[in-house]
Chains A and B, each alone.
Chain A
Amino acid sequence: MVRLGCIILAVVTGLGACAPRYEMTAPAAFKRFEQRGGYRAITADGVMLKAREVKNYPEGDLPFWTDALQRHLLARGYVQKGKTACFKTQKGVDGCTLVFLLPHGAEDWAFAQTVFVQGNRIVLVESAGLFDCFAKIEADLATALRSFDPGE
Chain B
Amino acid sequence: MRGFGTTVALVFALLARVALAAEPATGMVSQKAVQGPATEHAPPTLPAHGLPRSATQTDDGRLTALTATMVVKVVHVAEVRKQVLDRVKALHGHPMLMTDAELLLKVPPNALPELLELLAGAGTVLAKSLQRTDLTDEIAQLEARLKSKRDVLQRMRGFIDDSNVQATLRIERTMTQLVQELESVKGQFAVQRERARFATVQVNFQYFQHGRITYVNSPFAWLNDVDLDRFLREF
With an 8 A cutoff between CB atoms, is B223 at the interface? Answer: yes
Shortest CB–CB separation between residue B166 and chain A, in angstroms?
75
B215: contacting residue among A50, A76, A131, A135, CB under 8 A: A76
Q: Are A135 and B79 in contact (CB under 8 A)?
A: yes
Q: Which residues of B in the span 202-235 have a Cβ within 8 Å of any Cβ on A?
A: 208, 210-216, 218, 220, 222-223, 225-228, 231-232, 235
With an 8 A cutoff between CB atoms, is B17 at the interface? Answer: no
Q: Report how far A101 CA is from B215 CA in the complex, Å.
A: 16
Q: Are B75 and A104 in contact (CB under 8 A)?
A: no
Q: Which residues of A in the span 48-62 have a Cβ within 8 Å of any Cβ on B?
A: 48, 50, 54-55
With an 8 A cutoff between CB atoms, is B76 at the interface? Answer: yes
Q: Are A77 and B213 in contact (CB under 8 A)?
A: yes
Query: Using Cβ atoms and an 8 Å threshold, which residues of chain B touch A109?
Result: 228
Query: Using Cβ atoms and an 8 Å threshold, which residues of chain B touch A82?
Result: 121-123
Q: Are A79 and B228 in contact (CB under 8 A)?
A: no
**A82-B122, A83-B121, A131-B76 given; A72·B231 CB < 8 A:** no
> In chain A, what residue has the closest Cβ to B234?
A50
> How many chain A residues have a CB neighbour from B under 8 Å?
32
| Interface of A: prevailing SS | strand
Query: Using Cβ atoms and an 8 Å threshold, which residues of chain A touch B123?
Result: 82
> How many chain B residues have a CB neighbour from A under 8 Å?
25
Q: Are B213 and A81 in contact (CB under 8 A)?
A: no
Query: Using Cβ atoms and an 8 Å threshold, which residues of chain A touch B231?
Result: 48, 50, 111, 126, 128
Most buried by B among A68, A76, A78, A82: A76
Q: Are A128 and B223 in contact (CB under 8 A)?
A: no
Q: Are B235 and A78 in contact (CB under 8 A)?
A: no
Q: Report how far A101 CA is from B76 CA in the complex, Å.
A: 10
Q: Are B228 and A72 in contact (CB under 8 A)?
A: no
Q: Report how far A104 CA is from B229 CA in the complex, Å.
A: 9
Q: Are B235 and A72 in contact (CB under 8 A)?
A: no
**A40-B235, A68-B223, A78-B213 given; A102·B122 CB < 8 A:** no
What are 17 sample pairs from A and B whose C-beta atoms fall under 8 A apart?
A: A48-B231, A48-B232, A50-B235, A54-B222, A68-B223, A69-B226, A72-B216, A72-B223, A73-B226, A76-B214, A77-B214, A79-B210, A83-B121, A103-B213, A108-B210, A113-B226, A135-B79
A-B pairs, 3 with minimum CB distance: A54-B222, A77-B211, A77-B213
New A-B pairs, 19, CB < 8 Å, besides A82-B123, A124-B226: A40-B235, A50-B231, A54-B222, A54-B225, A68-B223, A72-B218, A72-B223, A76-B216, A77-B212, A77-B214, A79-B211, A81-B75, A82-B122, A83-B121, A101-B75, A102-B228, A109-B228, A128-B228, A135-B79
